[in-house]
Chains A and B, each alone.
Chain A
Amino acid sequence: MITESILLLLLFALIPLIIILIYALFAIWGERKVAGFIQDRLGPMRVGGWHGWAQSFADLLKLIQKEDIIPANADRFLFRLAPFIMFAASYAAFAVLPFSSSFIGSNLDIGVFFLLAITSLLSISVIMGGWASNNKWSLFGAMRSAAQMVSYEVPTIMSVLSVIVVAGSLNLMTVTEMQSGNDTLGFLPNWLILQNPFLIIAFVIFFISILAEAHRVPFDLPESESELVAGFQTEYSGMRWAMFMLAEYADMLLLSLLGAVLFFGGWNSPFGDFMAGPAWGFFWFMLKGLLLVFVMMWIRWTLPRYRVDQLMYLCWSILIPLSFLNFVLIALWEMIF
């Protein structure tokens, strides 16, 4: 009985993993395609026939065959540990995301809190990798990453908190459920972003902050391949590097899905009862998340990178005061209406 339940639990836990793996493979291919299209190119075209869809599989095969190199003076234990901690942190956070009305890894009452707490481990793993590599570029990247993630966690949390004030629950399933129905202005879905004008500002702050949290352009200073040669990943090769990459894309998806849950109604269909149901719920949920991922890619090929001081200025002088102000305004709005 116990073994059976453990097996069931493992199977259950594998579902988000499979989603992440499939998503990561196609997101990497998709990102290259997006980059290509935006630059009037075609991107990968040769592997697998139609538009090179199997490019990531070929890359994965290559990475598996690569030599696992650890620098001579590296801290071997931390060096090996860092990618796993990073992926574990991203993966664990998926537990509290309601993929569909009938599927959620762990229906925690403190879902959002757990998610934000566990993703903080990402910065630990980045610092671990950067420090253990014994490479100045890696350490630069790691220190930048630490500063950036600690800073941007504040506006992220404040904007999430604004949503929680409106929703009244930390349980993401509850937050999603209360957004079902199409009552806003008579036909629009009851998504939180449409219910409160200040939540639009909150979403903008949230989106900017998750760009920084996920190390995406224009906040990709920890990796900035042009100045730091990939930052904390410089000394990693083969599958360890692939783990970092996987965790990064998983983090991107995780934060996008969180945004979809908090602002765009999670697994709720935009058409009320039409195309609703558990399977459709999964479809809508992923669609919303992937759209946000696409916007991230779109921004990546549009904007240049911030300077370190600009990054800090943006966070501490603009986003944090604005998010606090916004939080107060939303609370007032909720009290009045």
Chain B
Amino acid sequence: MRNIVKKGWSTFRTIFTGMGITIRHFFSPAVTLQYPDEREELPKIARSKLFVNIDDCIACDQCVRACPVNCIEIDTVKATADVDLGRTSDGKQKRMWVTRFDIDMAKCMYCDLCTFPCPTECIYMIQDYEYSEYDRNNLVYNFSNLSPEKIEEVTRKAEEDKLQKEQQAETETVTTKPGKTAKQTGSSSAKSIPGAKATSGAKSIPGAKPKTVPGAKSIPGAKPKTVPGAKTIPGAKPKTVPGAKSVPGSKPKTVPGAKTIPGSKLKTVPGAKSVPGAKTRTVPGAKTIPGAKPKTVPGAKTIPGAKPKAVPGAKTIPGSKPKTIPDAKQIPGAKAKTKSGVKKVPGGGKGSQKPNSEE
């Protein structure tokens, strides 16, 4: 009996305790956010959607490389000399047409790593978080503001420009050929000779100096480069054989030639190297083939980061150009061979073949 009373008492006590709690909540305000009608203010650093201010983009490719999931894709076309793309809001000169700047928000993992490397702070997270789509493809945002016609026009112009340069380079190579062949023949036997080539190359290289100074824009400068490039090709082979060994890294290739030749060349060469380390790599490619490759190289120079990739990839980028010129295609392959072959087999063999064919 006592037990029952005790139990009954505790029953009612606990029931009223519980009802007290629920009635307190009954009168306390709801925590509901009436979502479509009200929205919470997101913190300023919220990561919800990427946005690109394309007017400020200099196509430096930094964000592409920073992205861990490869959700950003950028295509560029180098602007021809007669076009001024203007400056970014922080004063950087724009040199590339951004023909494609796609961000796949379906892939994006909101790590925000792409926004920090951006030199012009043109890619950043915005507050918009309501962008669900029925089709996954709709989550690919195109930030490039160029119309297809414009892109076509720009690429055509760039190709024509490149073609022009190649032709110029070819004419120059023709004039210089005799010397080259002589050098090459000599080079195959005596590598020291390359110096002679380099001299001619180096002299023409002065054009390269403009590159270091203002960049790829100086087309006139580029042409000279192409010329020496052709000359240097033979030189490259020698490098692989003894020159590379004697001097460290790929850079030595250009250096040896420079050394043998006047100091002025030396300066230009190091300068080129200093700008991007990649140049040295691209240069060999340039050497293998006349003008066309050199052009691509300068373009690569404007984007520092691109060059390392471009070494093998550089060919792919220029790849569009090579298509236009059949010779160029053959050349890229030759480059690859030279690179891979450089260490194993003397690149000179290939190089010698070319000169031979030219001969």
Q: B15-23, B103-111, B176-184, B277-285: which one contacts chain A?
A: B15-23
Inter-chain contacts of A38 with B (CB < 8 A):
22-23, 25-26
27 A-B pairs within 8 Å (CB atoms) are namely: A36-B30, A37-B26, A37-B30, A38-B22, A38-B23, A38-B26, A39-B25, A40-B25, A40-B28, A40-B30, A40-B31, A40-B32, A41-B30, A41-B31, A42-B34, A45-B34, A298-B19, A298-B22, A298-B23, A299-B19, A301-B22, A302-B15, A302-B18, A302-B19, A303-B18, A318-B4, A318-B8
* A36-B21 Cα distance, complex, nearest whole Å: 14
Q: Is A192 an interface residue (CB 8 A)?
A: no
How many residue pairs, one in A and one in B, have C-beta atoms under 8 Å apart?
A: 41
Q: Convert B1-20 into 0s and 1s, putting 1 for each residue whose CB lies closer than 8 angstroms to a CB of A.
A: 00010001000000100110
Spell out B's residues near A (CB within 8 Å). Answer: 4, 8, 15, 18-19, 21-23, 25-32, 34
Which residue in chain A gives the minimum CB-CB distance to B29?
A40
Query: Closest CB-CB distance, A9 to chain B, in whole Å?
Result: 42
Inter-chain contacts of B30 with A (CB < 8 A):
36-37, 40-42
Inter-chain contacts of A299 with B (CB < 8 A):
15, 19
Inter-chain contacts of A254 with B (CB < 8 A):
none
* A45-B32 Cα distance, complex, nearest whole Å: 11
Query: Closest CB-CB distance, B165 to chain A, in whole Å?
Result: 67
Query: Closest CB-CB distance, A42 to chain B, in whole Å?
Result: 4
Query: Closest CB-CB distance, B43 to chain A, in whole Å?
Result: 24
Q: A40-B30, A302-B19 are in contact. List 8 more A-B contacts (CB 8 A).
A: A34-B26, A38-B22, A38-B23, A38-B25, A40-B25, A45-B32, A303-B15, A318-B4
Inter-chain contacts of A42 with B (CB < 8 A):
30, 32, 34
Inter-chain contacts of A36 with B (CB < 8 A):
30
Query: Closest CB-CB distance, B6 to chain A, in whole Å?
Result: 13
Inter-chain contacts of A303 with B (CB < 8 A):
15, 18
* A299-B23 Cα distance, complex, nearest whole Å: 10
For chain A residues 32-71, which have a beta carbon within 8 Å of chain B? 34, 36-42, 45
Query: Closest CB-CB distance, B303 to chain A, in whole Å?
Result: 53
* A302-B24 Cα distance, complex, nearest whole Å: 12
* A309-B29 Cα distance, complex, nearest whole Å: 38
Inter-chain contacts of B8 with A (CB < 8 A):
318
* A34-B30 Cα distance, complex, nearest whole Å: 12
Which residue in chain A gives the minimum CB-CB distance to B12?
A204
Inter-chain contacts of A318 with B (CB < 8 A):
4, 8
Complex A-B, nearest 9 residue pairs according to Cβ-Cβ distance, in ascending order: A42-B32, A302-B22, A302-B18, A42-B30, A37-B26, A38-B22, A38-B26, A302-B19, A40-B31
* A26-B288 Cα distance, complex, nearest whole Å: 87
* A34-B23 Cα distance, complex, nearest whole Å: 10
* A335-B28 Cα distance, complex, nearest whole Å: 49
Query: Closest CB-CB distance, B3 to chain A, in whole Å?
Result: 12
* A318-B27 Cα distance, complex, nearest whole Å: 34
The reply to whether A41 and B22 contact each other, CB–CB distance below 8 Å, is: no
* A42-B37 Cα distance, complex, nearest whole Å: 14
* A318-B21 Cα distance, complex, nearest whole Å: 27
Which residue in chain A gives the minimum CB-CB distance to B33?
A42
Inter-chain contacts of B4 with A (CB < 8 A):
318
The reply to whether A298 and B32 contact each other, CB–CB distance below 8 Å, is: no
* A41-B212 Cα distance, complex, nearest whole Å: 66
Inter-chain contacts of B21 with A (CB < 8 A):
302
Query: Closest CB-CB distance, A329 to chain B, in whole Å?
Result: 15
Which residue in chain B gives the minimum CB-CB distance to A314?
B11
* A41-B27 Cα distance, complex, nearest whole Å: 11
* A303-B22 Cα distance, complex, nearest whole Å: 10
Q: Which one of A38, A45, A318 has the highest number of Cβ atoms from chain B below 10 Å of its Cβ? A: A38
Which residue in chain A gives the minimum CB-CB distance to B27?
A37
Which residue in chain A gives the minimum CB-CB distance to B4?
A318
The reply to whether A41 and B19 contact each other, CB–CB distance below 8 Å, is: no
Which residue in chain A gives the minimum CB-CB distance to B20?
A302
Inter-chain contacts of A45 with B (CB < 8 A):
32, 34
Which residue in chain A gives the minimum CB-CB distance to B17?
A302
Query: Closest CB-CB distance, A137 to chain B, in whole Å?
Result: 29
Inter-chain contacts of B23 with A (CB < 8 A):
38, 298
The reply to whether B26 and A298 contact each other, CB–CB distance below 8 Å, is: yes
* A306-B16 Cα distance, complex, nearest whole Å: 17
Query: Closest CB-CB distance, B40 to chain A, in whole Å?
Result: 16
Inter-chain contacts of B22 with A (CB < 8 A):
38, 298, 301-302
Query: Closest CB-CB distance, A278 to chain B, in whole Å?
Result: 33
* A40-B33 Cα distance, complex, nearest whole Å: 11
Inter-chain contacts of B31 with A (CB < 8 A):
40-41
Which residue in chain A gives the minimum CB-CB distance to B15?
A303
Inter-chain contacts of A39 with B (CB < 8 A):
25
Query: Closest CB-CB distance, B130 to chain A, in whole Å?
Result: 19
Inter-chain contacts of B25 with A (CB < 8 A):
37-40
Inter-chain contacts of B26 with A (CB < 8 A):
34, 37-38, 298
* A45-B34 Cα distance, complex, nearest whole Å: 9
* A303-B18 Cα distance, complex, nearest whole Å: 8
Which residue in chain B gives the minimum CB-CB distance to A37?
B26
Query: Closest CB-CB distance, A253 to chain B, in whole Å?
Result: 21
* A42-B22 Cα distance, complex, nearest whole Å: 15
* A41-B30 Cα distance, complex, nearest whole Å: 5
Query: Closest CB-CB distance, B38 to chain A, in whole Å?
Result: 11
Query: Closest CB-CB distance, B234 to chain A, in whole Å?
Result: 80
Inter-chain contacts of B27 with A (CB < 8 A):
37
Q: Convert A300-334 into 0s and 1s, putting 1 for each residue whose CB lies closer than 8 angstroms to a CB of B.
A: 01110000000000000010000000000000000
* A127-B48 Cα distance, complex, nearest whole Å: 56
Q: Convert A274-309 into 0s and 1s, putting 1 for each residue whose CB lies closer than 8 angstroms to a CB of B.
A: 000000000000000000000000110111000000
Query: Closest CB-CB distance, A201 to chain B, in whole Å?
Result: 11
* A302-B30 Cα distance, complex, nearest whole Å: 17
Query: Closest CB-CB distance, A207 to chain B, in whole Å?
Result: 12
Inter-chain contacts of A298 with B (CB < 8 A):
19, 22-23, 26
Given A298-B23, A298-B26, A318-B8, A41–B32 Cβ distance below 8 Å?
Answer: yes
